[in-house]
A and B are shown apart, each in its own frame.
Chain A
Amino acid sequence: MADLALGSVKIPFKEFLSTLFSGDKQSVWFTTLFEFRLPKAWVAVFAGAALSVSGLQMQTLFRNPLAGPYILGISSGAGLGVALLVLGFPALLSFGSHYFLNQWALVIAAWIGSAVILLFIMIVSIRVRDIMTILIFGIMFGSAATALISILQYFGSDASVKAFVIWTMGSLGGVTNNQLFIFIPSILAGLLIALVLPKSLNVLLLGENYARTMGLNVMVTRILIFISTSMLAGTVTAFCGPIGFIGIAIPHIARMLFHTANHFVLVPASILLGMNTMLLSDIISQLPGNATILPITSITALLGIPIVIWIIIKNQKLTHTV
Chain B
Amino acid sequence: MEIDSINGLTIKNLAIGYHKDSETHQLGGIINAQAKPGSLIALIGPNGVGKSTLIRTICQLHPSLAGQVIINSVDSAKLSRIQMAKTISLVSTDLYRSSKLKVADLVELGRFPHGSWFSGLSAYDKNCIKISMEQVNISSLAQRDITELSDGEYQRAMIARALAQDTPIVLLDEPTAFLDLATKFSMVSLLWNLTRNNQKSILFSTHDINIAMQFADVFWVLTKDGLKVGAPEDLLIDGTLEDLYTGTSVFFDSSTLQFRNKKTKLVPIQVIGTGKEYQFTLMALDRLGFDTDCNNSQALTVKIIATKQTTVWKFAHGNNTLEFNSIYELQEALREFV
Is the C-beta of A202 less than 8 angstroms from some C-beta in chain B?
yes
Known interface pairs A205-B98, A215-B85; 7 further A-B residue pairs with C-beta atoms within 8 A, sorted by A's residue number: A196-B117, A209-B61, A210-B94, A213-B88, A214-B89, A259-B102, A261-B98
> Which of A207, A209, A210: most chain B CB closer than 10 A?
A210
- Number of A residues, CB within 8 Å of B: 28
A202–B98 CA distance with the chains assembled, in angstroms? 10
Are A214 and B113 also in contact (CB < 8 A) when A63-B96, A318-B147 are? yes
Q: A210-B90, A212-B61 are in contact. Are A322 and B112 (CB under 8 A)?
A: no
Asked if B95 is at the interface of the complex by the 8 Å CB criterion, the answer is yes
- Compute how far the CA of A206 lies from the CA of B157 in the bound complex, rounded to whole angstroms: 12
Give the interface centre of B84, B88, B95, B101 by most chain A CB atoms within 10 Å: B101
Best-buried of B84, B92, B112 by chain A (most CB within 10 Å): B112
Contact for B94 among A65, A207, A256, A260, CB less than 8 A: A207
Q: A66 → chain B, closest Cβ, in Å?
A: 12
4 nearest interchain CB pairs? A215-B85, A215-B113, A261-B101, A213-B90
Q: Which of B85, B100, B165 contacts A255 (CB 8 A)?
A: B100
Min distance, Cβ A214 to any Cβ of chain B, angstroms = 5
A217 proximity list for chain B (CB < 8 A): 81
For the complex, give the distance between the alpha carbons of A213 and B105 in Å. Answer: 17
B117–A215 CB distance below 8 A: no
Interface presence of B38 (CB below 8 A) = no
Q: Which residues of B contact A65 (CB under 8 A)?
A: 99
Q: A199-B117, A203-B112, A215-B112 are in contact. Are A63 and B98 (CB under 8 A)?
A: yes
Q: Interface size on B (CB < 8 Å)?
A: 33
User: Quick one: closest A residue to B62, CB to CB?
Assistant: A209
Asked if B82 is at the interface (CB within 8 A of a chain A CB), the reply is yes
**Max chain B C-beta neighbours (<10 A), residue from A205, A206, A255, A322:** A206
Q: Mark A228-247, 1 if CB is under 8 A from B, else 0.
A: 00000000000000000000
Chain A residues near B81 (CB, 8 Å)? Answer: 212, 215-217
Given A202-B109, A203-B109, A206-B109, CB of A214 within 8 Å of CB of B99: no
Chain A residue with Cβ nearest B113: A215
Residues of B within 8 A of A261 (CB): 98-102, 105
**Interfacial chain B residues near A262, Cβ < 8 Å:** 105
Closest to B106 in A: A206
How distant is the Cα of A84 from the Cα of B77 in the complex, in angstroms?
A: 46
Q: A205-B98, A318-B147 are in contact. Are A214 and B110 (CB under 8 A)?
A: yes
Q: Is the CB of A322 within 8 A of B98?
A: no
Shortest beta-carbon distance from A215 to chain B in Å: 3
Contact A207 B84 (CB under 8 A): no
Knowing A261-B100, A261-B101 touch, does A209 contact B94 (C-beta < 8 A)? yes
